[in-house]
């Protein structure tokens, strides 16, 4: 599990170590250099002879980048530090130079008053030891490198890099971002991820992203293929929309004593294996959980088929389908093990493919939801159920909207918010929906955010872009319904568990898409069929 802690919590945990003289920057820089060297060896076959360009700001992240550059230079890497400041970290700059690295100051030639703006190669006034390099040449140097280190801003920064640093980040981002790849994955990707160009490695976090809330600034952010973060992950690396700029996230352990509850968590495969209900030799279909499903209408029978298929393939003991006879026939044709008709259940799955204007199915849904609330039965509320749900729910009720549905739900609850606002601040609005209803909220997206009881927050980024396809949400609802049915008693005893199970369902859903067709297009039914192999692989570890 990756745990995300706020900037204030990380700083507080660093203070006693710094007071004891622990060289945290050197530890962080060495770990960063080691990780970069591994990437170089993987990309080129060897480390020696590679080129690394470090984009350096005035803060400690710039110092980390400079010290890491020194370690790499001693391994035969050509290292160039492009500074966006005349006062980079002094010890880091000295270390880089001793190791044979080179440092320059990027200059915007359009700014007549810019330091070093006179002639290419001139030292900037007041920066006699930092030769000035035209901005375009600095960007070209970075684009031609094997790896670019983004050390412009750290956790103390607010907003996008400004001045020359902002120009560096913006121009390089324009070169590296692939529009086609962004369309396929739901966000920008570096040229390295798309198959060419340098690998961008963010030093602690991509410069400018919201450290604690995952917000994107009004300005350029250089998307990273890899973020090496120190001490603990920062929430902005896990939360959307900033998480889409972080790439792979790797945490360097600095020995920080972080005792507070994390601001956000991301489940790993081992966590899902521990959460998944695995039957024992004495279990039977009823003890393994019975899931009631109210889904589909004659206009949308496929939603019911997808939902019950995913639930059955996720390992629930029994699925009871409640709905129109025509839809029930389609369900039974696809899944003959499903039982049509009402009966005792351990959890409900309500809403996929249900039009609230379809009176009979809407009444079935409302009746099941009221029974679930009265009897203390966990429930998944998806699609049509979101429009029919009462204001007051329970934490073992899991709402599963996408951004547009959440905006509509919040509007019904008295909040004036647009879909774009939800997409810009997903944690804020998922948390608001939880506050207003008491329910656990799973906000679907390329990074799925879950907010639940007891301050539980999860952010899962396991889904490939191919999973953005019709019926995918129905499959996710089926997986989650099976989990709630299998662990119904535990969820009632421990309400925050509902959020963890929702995050586990999101992880399995995303991984099943890769299992179904690695790196290629998938259908929702194909994802459902891949769930058993996905779960088996997670349980094997």
Tens-place pLDDT, residues 360-401: 999 999 999 999 999 999 999 999 999 999 999 999 999 999
188: left (phi over 0), alpha (psi -120 to 50) or beta: beta
pLDDT at residue 440, rounded to an integer: 98
DSSP 75: T
pLDDT at residue 156, rounded to an integer: 81
pLDDT at residue 179, rounded to an integer: 38
DSSP string, 103-125: EEEEE-TT-TTSTT-SSTTPEET
DSSP 204: S
Q: What is the DSSP pairing of strand 290-294 with strand 318-322?
A: parallel
For residue 12, what are its two tokens? 């507080």
pLDDT at residue 492, rounded to an integer: 97
Q: 149, 128, 183, 158: which is closest to 62 by C-alpha? A: 149
Ranges in the chain annotated CATH 3.40.50.10260: 24-264
For residue 444, what are its two tokens? 């679907």
* Residue 151 near residue 56, CB atoms below 8 Å: yes
SS3 70: helix
Q: 34, 39, 69: which is closest to 55 by C-alpha? A: 69
pLDDT at residue 178, rounded to an integer: 52
Q: 160, 147, 149, 186: which is closest to 39 by C-alpha? A: 147
**CATH class, 269-540 region:** alpha beta
H/E segment holding residue 98: helix 90-98
For residue 482, what are its two tokens? 């099976």
DSSP string, 205-244: S-TTS-TTT-PPPSS-----SEEEEESSB-HHHHSTTGGG
pLDDT in tens, 20-74: 999 999 999 999 999 999 999 999 999 999 999 999 998 899 999 999 999 999 9
Ranges in the chain annotated CATH 3.40.1190.20: 269-540
For residue 102, what are its two tokens? 């080179």
* Residue 3 near residue 233, CB atoms below 8 Å: yes
Count of H helices and E strands in the chain? 21, 20
Per-residue pLDDT of the chain (541 residues; tens, 9 = 90+): 999 999 999 999 999 999 999 999 999 999 999 999 999 999 999 999 999 999 999 889 999 999 999 999 999 999 999 999 989 999 999 999 999 999 999 998 776 544 433 333 444 444 548 999 999 999 999 999 999 999 999 888 788 889 999 999 999 999 887 533 443 444 444 444 444 689 999 999 999 999 999 999 988 999 999 999 999 999 999 999 999 999 999 999 999 998 778 999 999 999 999 999 999 999 899 999 999 999 999 999 999 999 999 999 999 999 999 999 999 999 999 999 999 999 999 999 999 999 988 899 999 999 999 999 999 999 999 999 999 999 999 999 999 999 999 999 999 999 999 999 999 999 999 999 999 999 999 999 999 999 999 999 999 999 999 999 999 999 999 999 999 999 999 999 999 999 999 999 999 999 999 999 999 999 999 999 999 999 999 999 8
CA-to-CA distance for 289 and 55, rounded, in angstroms? 55
Q: What is the reported pTM?
A: 0.89
pLDDT at residue 114, rounded to an integer: 45
Q: What is the dihedral of CA 10, 13, 14, 15, to 10 degrees?
A: 130
* Residue 131 near residue 122, CB atoms below 8 Å: yes
* Distance from chain centroid for Cα 452: 17
CATH 3.50.50.60, applies to 24-264: no
Residue length of the chain: 541
């Amino acid at each position: 599990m990756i745990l995300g802690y706020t900037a204030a919590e990380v700083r507080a945990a660093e203070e006693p170590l710094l007071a004891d003289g622990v060289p945290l920057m050197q530890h962080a820089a060495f770990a960063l250099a080691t990780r970069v060297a591994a990437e170089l060896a993987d990309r080129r076959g060897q480390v020696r002879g590679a080129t690394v360009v470090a984009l350096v700001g005035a803060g400690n992240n710039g110092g980390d980048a400079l010290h890491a550059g020194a370690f790499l230079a001693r391994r035969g890497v050509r290292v160039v530090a492009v500074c966006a400041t005349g006062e980079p970290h002094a010890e880091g700059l000295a270390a880089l130079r001793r190791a044979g690295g080179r440092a320059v100051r990027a200059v915007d030639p359009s700014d007549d008053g810019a330091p070093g703006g006179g002639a290419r190669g001139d030292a900037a006034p007041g920066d006699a030891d930092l030769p000035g390099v035209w901005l375009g040449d600095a960007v070209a140097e970075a684009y031609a490198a094997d790896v670019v280190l983004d050390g412009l801003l750290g956790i103390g920064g607010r907003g996008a890099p400004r001045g020359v640093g902002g120009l560096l980040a913006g121009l390089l981002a324009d070169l590296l971002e692939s529009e086609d790849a962004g369309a396929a994955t739901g966000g920008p990707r570096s040229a390295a991820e798309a198959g060419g160009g340098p690998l961008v490695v963010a030093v602690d976090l991509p410069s400018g992203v919201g450290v604690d809330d995952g917000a994107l600034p009004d300005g350029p952010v250089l998307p990273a293929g890899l973020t090496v973060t120190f001490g603990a992950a920062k929430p902005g690396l896990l939360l959307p929309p900033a998480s889409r700029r972080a790439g792979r996230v790797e945490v360097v352990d600095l020995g920080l004593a972080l005792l507070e509850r994390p601001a956000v968590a991301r489940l790993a495969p081992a966590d899902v294996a521990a959460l998944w209900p695995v039957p024992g030799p004495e279990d039977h279909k009823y003890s393994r959980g019975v899931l009631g499903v109210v889904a589909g209408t004659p206009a949308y029978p496929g939603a019911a088929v997808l939902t019950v298929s995913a639930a059955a393939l996720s390992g629930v003991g029994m699925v009871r389908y409640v709905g129109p006879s025509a839809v029930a026939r389609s369900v039974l044709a696809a899944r003959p093990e499903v039982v049509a008709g009402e009966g005792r259940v351990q959890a409900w799955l309500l809403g996929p493919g249900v039009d609230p204007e379809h009176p009979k199915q809407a009444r079935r849904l409302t009746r099941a939801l009221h029974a679930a609330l009265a009897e203390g039965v966990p429930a998944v509320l998806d699609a049509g159920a979101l429009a029919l749900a009462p204001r007051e729910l329970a934490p073992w009720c899991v709402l599963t909207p996408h951004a547009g549905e959440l905006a509509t739900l919040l509007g019904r609850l008295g909040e004036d918010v647009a879909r774009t606002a939800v997409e810009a601040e997903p944690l804020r609005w998922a948390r608001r929906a939880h506050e207003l209803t008491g329910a656990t909220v799973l906000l679907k997206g390329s990074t799925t955010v879950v907010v639940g009881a007891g301050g539980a927050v999860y952010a899962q980024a396991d889904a490939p872009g191919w999973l953005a396809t019709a019926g995918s949400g129905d499959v996710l609802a089926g997986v989650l319904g099976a989990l709630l049915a299998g662990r119904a008693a535990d969820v009632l005893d421990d309400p925050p568990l509902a959020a963890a199970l929702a995050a586990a369902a999101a992880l399995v859903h995303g991984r099943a898409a890769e299992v179904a067709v690695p790196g290629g297009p998938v259908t929702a039914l194909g994802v459902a069929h891949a769930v058993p192999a996905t779960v088996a692989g997670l349980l094997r570890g």
